[in-house]
A and B are shown apart, each in its own frame.
Chain A
Amino acid sequence: MLLRGHELRDAGHNVHTIYVGGGTPTVLDAGELDRLLEACHRHLPLEKPEWTVEANPGTLDSGKIDVLAAFGVNRLSLGVQDLDDRRLAILGRRHTAADAWRAFVMAQKKISSISVDIMSGLPEQECGDFLNTLAAVVNWGPDHVSVYGLKVEEGTVFAEQCNSGRLCLPGEEEVLNMLLAGRELLIEQGFEHYEIANFARPGCAGRHNITYWRNLPYIGVGLGSHSYWMGSRTVNVSDPVAYGGMLMDGKLPIAETAAVSLRQEMEETMMLGLRLLEGIKFEDFACRFGEDLRDVFSTEILFLQQKKLIITDNSRIRISERGFPVANLVFAEFITA
């Protein structure tokens, strides 16, 4: 952090957003959190940042919330996931629905913006269950909701249970219904669908994540974290001993570096920018690359327009309602192997 802080200062950059994530930083006790957040203040050129911390309802208490608030954390991302205790247990979550609610209420008193994560496509979950969970959580008053589908990774115990039929996952059609009905519910409740998996009350979209989707630079600090900085994507070393060793030698603990070519940058700008429902402004693309995206990707755009998966108007290109459930097909068009 110190090294990166110097780098930023030397280049005349300030930090506008911070996201403390990587699972559940709230497993740290209040004292450890204090040291971490204090270090951010000491080493980084902060400029009124949007400062988000990820939290697991099972590991949050009022002491930790006080520490977060005291250092200026103004956004909390709370992993509620579901309000069915049985399903939470199947997912291996240590918290219950009651824990989630208590954590939310506690945090709401001190932290101005709260986002909740909700999952769809869980074992034994029906569309009605999902909508009930969503409606109940929206009632608590979050200003931001992320909805993620469950992805079963092959080779895990969980996958084995699903394959053997001991866990029954909802089918694709059912999951799609959850997404579409959930989207409708949130929009009715005054949320804007601004990114494929993200909904926010007007003006409450997460600035930090928008950095990723606008394909702008960011710096990751910590084991195995990713950066996109000075035209390269890098990954930090994930072994703690090696990481510490490199820092002691005064080196950035980078394990992998991949330079991004101009063409790749254009493609990634499309792949990421189309995740935002407002899409990509032709003008922004032209300012950045000196070329009109309608020229660079003319055949791809024509193809996707014919399939009614994207929409273009005078100023921008965006994904259509028909396109967003199959967004991978849209993104893939812009990527060359």
Chain B
Amino acid sequence: MSQENIRNFSIIAHIDHGKSTLADRLLEFTGALTQREMSDQVLDQMDLERERGITIKLQAVRLFYKAKNGQEYMLNLIDTPGHVDFTYEVSRSLAACEGALLVVDAAQGIEAQTLANVYLALENNLEIIPVINKIDLPSADVEKAKKELEDIIGIPGDEAILASAKEGLGIEEVLEAVVQRVPAPAGERSISPRALIFDSHYDAYRGVIAYVRVMEGEIKERMKIKMMSNGKTFEVSEVGYFRPLMTRSSSLSAGEVGYVIAGVKNVKDTRVGDTITSAERPATEPLPGYRKANPMVYCGLYPADSGEYEDLRDALEKLNLNDAALTYEPETSAALGFGFRCGFLGLLHMEIIQERLEREYKLDLITTAPNVVYRVNMNGGSVIQIDNPALFPKSADVESIEEPFVTARIIVPNEYVGAVMELCQEKRGSFINMEYLDANRVMLTYEMPLSEIVFDFFDLLKSRTRGYASFDYELLGYRAAKLVKVDILLNGEPVDALSFITHIDRAYARGRELTVKLREIIPRQMFEVPIQAAIGSKIIARESIKAMRKNVLDKCYGGDITRKRKLLEKQKAGKKRMKQVGSVEIPQEAFMAVLKID
């Protein structure tokens, strides 16, 4: 098909604003799938994605549409993840497009995460087509949504298409707008090829499948290709596109979106953002935008049953095949035994990996509280990165410590501004800006330590604003802070997996709260167990768990036996989920308790 008749676009939307439903309708309308073939929300393939209503892995699909002008068009829809953790993926998929549909919920208005992605789209010079969705809802307020588009993003409200993906309203209008407003891709077809990898996934039978947008030239079967970031070469065994099922074709040329299979065994060799070129006739410069996604949040993952260590390693290896952003290193904890220190893009990424390990790989995990990466300037002038509180150096050796800061944007109804300001203040935030989006919504901008967000910020924000706040952040850089490591001692013995790093002003309060929380969580033992919090050798808080003195079933006669057995089974099952640390038995949730304080 001529380049003139190709349109590449993606959809930007906040969680629940109807992105997946709209995508489904577009597929249905253009006949990519018959209604019978559709399961709801085709593009969200993982169970987890469907359950949480989010898109984790990108998808791309080719649609054919006969426009009202009588011409046939090839429309490539590239789905984007809607969460802050995956900003880099979003920016790559946007770089593969010329236009974006901005979906706004007619009842909810624009949210913080949408905004972040709109900025990314504008940076990539994308044509933005606003779609006001869910106009069928009784609470829909189209005029207000239009005004927000104008005031917040600066797009004339009249340009918005009114739609209800659920009811199938406005779908044809959306397709027409894509054809008319999104520019056709540019790019010479005859020169050396350059193709942007915007996603990849590992298939057990075919190896790595790279999702690409060809910017220039052509990629064909049997061609020798080169990855421009590392110079590795491969031979293309197949190219094609998604309909949404994989459909083989002879070549992909400039302007087209599709997949490349080239016998690559490791997704690390098809990093998102890398450029594919010809090995024989290579381009001189890669496309802009390859960078390695660095983990921002770390936690320890340990098998509850130490016999499952190998299984955990295998599972992490498999997940890593499809998710190069996940990192893992073996580590040993005196309390938890052998496990892994894992790095994630953000909290959601962490939760998703944990859930997949437990669900898809049936692993029973103990997770330590998440933490950020600290930069420690040592007295000798050397700098070390610390991603595990247990490995924090002695304060005598430390010159200064830096921690990552973020810019946080929070959109919230008027009446909660006070509550949010208070929360941000508690979390060591510094106020930057406050902006009225409309008569009753406000956007607050703060600079905050990421470590405070990794603590329970999101939960607190939700509960203090009754779920009305939306929130987004981006990394700002490292800043010096007065931080200390707090150790927790049980029965006089430090438990490495419970250590945490905190600002010195918060250390006493957090130490106290955590010891109280642990006293509630850890069941009584046969002896009294002191719980202490300490900075170095200085004890800053102390609680104790009283010894269990009496636990006996007085009556056990003929009618009681089955019930008593069940009771004991339950008691035993609870015990099985505990970790023996020294002489103390600790339930698994204790290792996350530091998150539950404040």
Contact = CB atoms under 8 A, between A and B. Distances in A.
Interface stretch (B86-94, B164-172, B388-396, B565-573): B565-573
B552 A226 contact: no
Contacts of B575: 332
Contact of A328 (B549, B555, B557, B571): B571
Interface string A294-332: 000000000000010000000000000000111111011
A325 B551 contact: yes
B204 interface: no
Contacts of A271: 564-565, 568
B112 to A, nearest CB: 44
Given A335-B565, A335-B568, A337-B572, A324 B552 contact: yes
B526 interface: yes
A151 B550 CA distance: 13
A58 interface: no
B578 to A, nearest CB: 13
Nearest to B556: A275
Interface string A160-195: 000000000000110110010000000000000000
Contact of A226 (B550, B562, B568, B570): B562
Contacts of A233: 561-562
Interface string A262-282: 000001100110010000000
Given A148-B554, A325-B551, A226 B561 contact: yes
B526 A326 contact: yes
B553 interface: yes
A326 B548 contact: yes
A149 interface: yes
A258 interface: yes
B381 to A, nearest CB: 52
Interface residues of B, number: 26
A239 to B, nearest CB: 17
Given A271-B564, A271-B565, A326-B526, A220 B558 contact: yes
Contacts of A289: none
Interface string A213-230: 100001010001111100
Given A325-B551, A328-B553, A337-B572, A220 B559 contact: yes
A328 B569 contact: no
Nearest to A233: B562
Contacts of A328: 551-553, 567-568, 571
A156 interface: no
A176 B561 contact: no
Given A271-B565, A332-B572, A175 B551 contact: no
B565 A176 contact: no
A148 B564 CA distance: 16
Contacts of B553: 196, 327-328, 331
Contacts of B549: 172-173, 176, 325-326
B561 A209 contact: no
Interface in B550-598: 550-559, 561-562, 564-565, 567-573, 575-576
B535 to A, nearest CB: 34
Contacts of A275: 556
B558 A268 contact: no
Contact of B558 (A176, A218, A329): A218
Nearest to A179: B550
B413 to A, nearest CB: 39
Interface string B394-432: 000000000000000000000000000000000000000
B565 A209 contact: no
B268 to A, nearest CB: 42
Contacts of B564: 271, 331
Contacts of A268: 561, 565
B52 to A, nearest CB: 31
Contact of B556 (A151, A212, A220): A212
Contact of A209 (B526, B552, B557, B562): B557
A336 interface: yes
A138 interface: no
A146 to B, nearest CB: 8
A24 B568 CA distance: 29
Interface string B15-55: 00000000000000000000000000000000000000000
A197 interface: yes
Contacts of B570: 337
Contact of A228 (B550, B561, B567, B568): B561
A147 B565 CA distance: 22
A288 to B, nearest CB: 17
Interface in B526-551: 526, 548-551
Interface in A93-150: 147-149
Contacts of A228: 558, 561
A212 B526 contact: no
Interface string A245-266: 0000000000000100000000
Residue in B553, B554, B567, B568 whose Cβ sees the most chain A Cβ within 10 Å: B554
B550 A212 contact: no
Nearest to B553: A328
- Top 4 closest A-B pairs, CB basis? A337-B569, A226-B559, A327-B552, A328-B551
5 contacts: A149-B552, A196-B553, A275-B556, A325-B552, A326-B550
